[in-house]
Amino acid sequence: MTEDPYKHKYLIAIAVTLAAVLELVDTSIVNVAIPHMMGTLGATLDEIAWVSTSYIIANVIVIPMSSWLSAFFGRRNYLTGSIAIFVVASFFCGAATSLWGLVFWRVLQGLGGGALLSTAQTTLFEAFPPHERGIGQSIFGVGVMVGPTLGPTLGGYIVDAYAWPWIFYINVPLGIFAGYLVWTYVRDAAHQVKSRSVDVWGILLLTMAVGSLQWMLERGERFDWFESRFVTALAVTSVTSAVLLVWRELSIDEPIINFRILRSRQLAPGVVFAAFLGVALYGSVFVLPVFLQQLHGYTAQQTGMVILPGAIASAITMAFMGRMSGTVDARPMIVLGAFLFLGAMTLLSRMTLESGQQDLFWPLIMRGVGLGFLFVPLTNATVSGLPMRLIGQGTGMFNLMRQLGGSLGIAIMATMLARQSAVQKAMLTEHAGSYDPATMQRMQGLMQGMAARGIDVAAAKQQALLILDRQITQQASVMAFSRIYLISGILLVSALPLLLIWRTGRPTSAVKAADLH
């Protein structure tokens, strides 16, 4: 009697999803520890930014190569080795005593972590039987959606309760556990064939194209975008390298990235939609903690407790969609999810300085449910029809585009937040002049209150002006956040016409894509 090939599917799902969650959490967990790192390592804000930037650049370079690397080394060896690199690098990140030592180990951590997204997702496609693949993707989806959301909260708790090195040390036992499960239960893919040559030029061009783009997105706002020659040079390098990369990969037999699979009418629109999803999701995830902590004075832990119900709603919805994915058409589910997301963003755009935690509860629940309806159907339908030997390439492109979309979303939202705040403040200041009765009444009330506490007239006037300026600044920020929420929702809905290109919204067999090699 032959052994059931799907016998250990849930153990495999736990292993690869845990590894992917560790990778994603480490993308954002360091942000709350940056002030502590600056003090310990004696670094400036510009210098310490490399702790985040170096990790993300290394990460996005490896993601599109992971399918080729998995075939070259064997899936089990590659996944286990990547987890081992991630764990060792995590330990030395925590033990680092200098800034550039920490950056070096963050690069290695990112290189190890890059394998843990698309390779994990591909592994789950094979670990579950065809009619249960949605369950595997829903387990993975929970980690992908919840990880970036809870990273800053977990980091805030660890830094407050212990010290910043523990945000890295925590990866060690969890990573060892995931690595053990992968080595024990994951098997090499029977359909993958090791390449006979190494596409060195492809690797170099990919590194230049994706690395320059990510560097530009990470640093663009600080350098005022294309007003800076450095940012312009990064953009030119990225575009030139990308064009040469596509030409190179289409002209050789064993490319590091198989762009030919974009002939698929399922995959091409799906990965573009993934980029829109990344912009909307990561942009809104970036903005909300800033809104709560800067304007409402929430701590990282309080912010996490506000976000947690939405994350749970997303997990429950994904579990439901995982069960349903083989029986329902993905397109109406994605449309429903996108409009739920837009509805949530519309409600969040109406938040004011007086809004409390109860005002955030239902919009964030709605956002979580909307994302739950989106992720599993989108992933399954995007790779629908690809032969199993090309699933890794497909998921690699899907994850790369979502990650780059996320970086683009954060860059866009950060830029818009700064500029919209300035624009809105200028408009409010113009209307709050000395001829505005409401402003003068407010000014008079503040001065009288200070005079009653014994403050002289000149000092009272100065303090009243400072209070008014702070209130105008806060109100301008609220108006800027409002626009950003709406734009996030509208961007995601605007991608829905891409679904019209799909042949089907249901998972299909792989035979129709045999011509994509």
Alpha helix segments (H runs only) across 325-387: 330-348, 357-382
- pLDDT value, residue 416: 74
Same domain? For 139 and 93 the reply is: yes
- Do 515 and 396 reside in the same domain of the chain? yes
Whether residue 165 sits in one domain with residue 230: no
| Encoded tokens for 138 | 């829903």
Does residue 460 share a domain with residue 388?
Answer: no
Same domain, 238 and 337: no
pTM over 0.85: no
The domain containing residue 85 runs over which residues? 1-196
Residue with tokens 């992933």: 379
- Cβ pair 69, 115 in contact under 8 A: yes
What was the pLDDT predicted at 89?
94
Per-residue pLDDT of the chain (517 residues; tens, 9 = 90+): 456 666 778 888 888 888 888 888 887 777 777 777 877 887 776 677 778 778 888 888 888 888 888 888 888 888 999 999 999 999 999 888 888 888 899 999 988 888 887 788 778 877 777 777 777 777 777 777 676 666 767 777 787 778 888 889 988 999 999 899 989 888 876 666 666 777 788 888 888 888 888 788 777 777 778 788 888 898 899 899 989 988 988 888 788 888 888 888 888 899 999 989 888 887 777 677 777 777 777 776 677 778 778 878 887 888 788 777 667 788 899 999 999 999 999 998 887 777 777 778 898 899 889 988 888 888 888 887 777 777 878 888 888 888 888 877 777 777 777 776 666 666 656 655 555 565 566 656 656 666 666 666 666 666 666 666 666 666 666 777 778 888 889 999 999 999 888 887 766 544 344 444 4
- 75: closest CA among 154, 177, 186, 150? 186
Assigned token pair, 363? 């919009």
Last residue of a domain, one of 196, 213, 239: 196
Do both 241 and 321 map to the same domain? Answer: no
* Same domain flag for 289 and 303: yes
Residues 51 and 182 in one domain: yes
Nearest Cα residue to 17 out of 112, 208, 153, 147 = 147
CATH, residue 124: 1.20.1250.20
Q: Which of 160, 180, 196 is the last residue of a domain?
A: 196
Task: Please tell me whether residues 148 and 249 are part of one structural domain.
Answer: no
Domain match, 403 and 277 both: yes
Query: CA-based angle 144:278:65, to the nearest 5?
Result: 70
- Which helix (H) or strand (E) segment is 168 a member of? helix 166-169
Other CB atoms within 10 A of residue 286 CB? 23
Claim to verify: residue 310 and residue 439 sit in the same structural domain:
no
Q: In this structure, are 179 and 202 located in the same domain? A: no
* Half-sphere exposure (Cβ direction) of 509: Cα atoms closer than 13 Å: 2
**Which domain-ending residue is among 147, 174, 196?**
196
Contact between residue 99 and residue 111 where contact means Cβ atoms under 8 Å apart: no
pLDDT value of residue 265: 84
CA 167 – CA 162 distance, rounded (Å): 9
DSSP 292: I
Number of structural domains found in the chain: 4
